[in-house]
Structure 1
Amino acid sequence: MEPVEINAGAYYLRQLRADRHLDDRAALMEAFADPEHRRYVLNYRLRTLDEATEYVALRTAQWSCDERCSWAVAEPTTGRLLGEVGLRDLDLKFDTAEASVWTHPTERGKGVASTALSAALRYGFGGLGLQEISYRHEESNVVSASVAAKCGFTCVGPERTPAPTGEPLIKWTRQA
Structure 2
Amino acid sequence: MGRANVLDMEPIEINAGGYYLRALRADDLLDDRPAIVRAFEDPEMKRWVSDYRIGDLADAGAYVARRADEWARDVRCSWAVAEPTTGALLGEVDLRELDSGDPQAACWTHPDHRGRGVASTALGAAVRFGFGALGLAKIGYQHDADNTASLRVAEKCGFKLVGETMLDGTRLLHWVAVSPTS
TM-score range, shorter chain: over 0.9
Q: Distance in 2 between matches of 1:80 and 1:17?
A: 11
Residues 1-176 of structure 1: matches in 2 within 5 Å? 1=7, 2=9, 3-91=11-99, 94=101, 96-159=102-165, 161-162=166-167, 166-176=169-179
Q: Distance in 1 between matches of 2:46 and 2:155?
A: 23
Q: Distance in 1 between matches of 2:57 and 2:147?
A: 29
The one-letter amino acid of 2:159's match is F
Tell me: higher relative CO, structure 1 or 2? Use CA pairs within 8 A at least 6 residues apart. Answer: 2
List per-residue Cα deviations over 1:106-152 (Å, max 9, x = no partner).
Answer: 10000000000000001000000000100000010011011000000
The one-letter amino acid of 1:69's match is C
The one-letter amino acid of 1:84's match is E
- Secondary structure of residue in 1 paired with 2:103: strand
Q: Which runs of 5+ in 1 are unaligned?
A: none
The one-letter amino acid of 2:91's match is G
Residue 167 (structure 1) shift: 1.3
Q: Distance in 2 between matches of 1:157 and 1:50?
A: 38
Residue 75 (structure 1) shift: 0.2
- Secondary structure of residue in 1 paired with 2:97: strand
Q: CA RMSD in A?
A: 1.0
Q: Distance in 2 between matches of 1:5 and 1:38?
A: 28
The one-letter amino acid of 1:174's match is A
Q: Distance in 2 between matches of 1:134 and 1:8?
A: 20
Paired-residue identity, %: 56
- Secondary structure of residue in 1 paired with 2:170: coil
TM value normalised by structure 1: 0.94
